[in-house]
Chain A
Amino acid sequence: MSNEEKILAALERELPPGNPAPAGLVRDLGPVRPGLSTGAVLTLFAALLSGITVGGGYLLGSRGMEAMTVAQVMIMGALGTTMVVILGLAMAQCLRPGSKVRVSVPWASALPLLGFLAVAALAFPWRWMPENFAHGWGCLKEGLYVALGSSAGVVWLVRRGYVTNWAGTAGTLGAFCGLAGAALLHVMCPDQEATHLMVWHGGILAGGTLGGLLAGYLLLRKR
């Protein structure tokens, strides 16, 4: 018998026996609908982001799309799709205890911002002008309103699962809402310049994620 087996045998011998279930443990039974599947969460996220971007762009104008090249549109589309998949997987993981770990939840919350900053820096021109920079406050405000509005659409998701990691869940939701705000703004805003995008549009992603983390922290403190 190896040392490890000896330890395990001793452990098995010494562990306290488990008490049987007390009487009356099962009460108030009612049928429940199983939680959302990973596919359903992904579809919901994709539908929400497409709805907000396309619907918002249709209603509020799409001057940002007109200012971008085809390559930039494709790069931003690919980034948005990738982020939706990552955030959807992280969200599905957060809502179902004991589910398979497919993505790291903290990384999933941070990736939209990091990805956006990298793409804005590499795929968009640098033409910094002080007046453009100052006009960014309006962008940030509008984007944060959209992020806040979209949070109403995703908060009910939390009720369809059981959250064991409030900070991770709220951070993921915040990042998704920030992504929605930044995506709509990207379609609307004609100022497609790297500094403006990184500071003001990236600020929406940062604000959304930090807002989500703060909400998670406050919820956690309440428990």
Chain B
Amino acid sequence: MDDKHELVELMTRYQAADRAAAEALAAKVYPLLHRFYGSLGDYDRADDLAQECWMRLHRARHSYRQPEPVLPWVFAIARHTRVDVFRRQLRRSGREVALPEGADFAAPAPEAPPTVLPLLDQLPASQREVLVMLKVTGMSLEEVARATASSVGSVKQKAHRAYETLRKLLAEAK
């Protein structure tokens, strides 16, 4: 049984209140969620976001229907969780974002080797999200399109633009 079919099977058993299936699903999905949030720049809050997302997945488990793919369902809710949490924090803290103590505004040292991950932060949110979903979770274009409620063409375009921008940024950093 491949991974995608296994997820469908686990999800169906989870809906029927099978504890072992729920734990197996959490073991498979949680690291992906953690990596997803971590890759989007929420490094410090990745655990909190992943737990909040899991709670929402648990409450929304009735909205999944077999045999639809599980990952688009998971990541549609994961995106929504991130936006909701961000919006909530923005409301709480007004429109100001507090900077961490001793934040360093200096440009990186020229001899520092260029790395891709910090460059991800410079991509527009929608492109970064698509790239991370494609590469971190191994979702197909069709699955990413479902998770982001857009078309396959739009996902392809965003991924292509993200590669282009990364390539330029890397060339500039060298």
Contact = CB atoms under 8 A, between A and B. Distances in A.
Given A20-B30, A25-B51, A29-B19, 4 more contacts: A20-B27, A22-B30, A26-B22, A26-B26
A98 B116 contact: no
A59 interface: no
B39 A16 contact: yes
Contacts, number: 144
B35 A21 contact: no
**Centre residue among A4, A10, A97 by max chain B CB count within 10 A:** A97
Contact of B170 (A7, A22, A37): A7
Interface string A1-40: 0011001101110111111111001101111111101000
Given A30-B17, A164-B77, A19 B117 contact: no
Interface string B158-173: 0000010011001000
Contacts of B120: 11
Interface in B118-174: 120, 131, 135-136, 145-147, 149-151, 163, 166-167, 170
Interface of A is mostly: loop
Interface of A: 3-4, 7-8, 10-12, 14-22, 25-26, 28-35, 37, 93, 95-101, 105, 160-162, 164-165, 223
B167 A96 contact: no
Interface residues of B, number: 63
Interface stretch (B62-70, B92-100, B104-112): B62-70
Contact of B74 (A8, A34, A98): A98
B72 A98 contact: yes
8 contacts: A10-B115, A18-B35, A19-B30, A19-B31, A32-B62, A35-B65, A97-B63, A98-B75
Nearest to B12: A34
A161 B145 contact: no
Nearest to B150: A101
Interface of B is mostly: helix
B63 A20 contact: no
A96 B63 contact: yes
**Centre residue among A10, A26, A100 by max chain B CB count within 10 A:** A26
B19 A26 contact: yes
Nearest to A6: B170
Nearest to B54: A25
B64 to A, nearest CB: 7
B163 A7 contact: yes
B39 A21 contact: no
Contact of B15 (A3, A15, A31, A165): A31
A31 B17 contact: yes
B26 A15 contact: no
Given A22-B51, A164-B77, A100 B117 contact: no
B32 interface: yes
Nearest to B78: A97
A11 B135 contact: yes
A96 B17 contact: no
B20 to A, nearest CB: 9
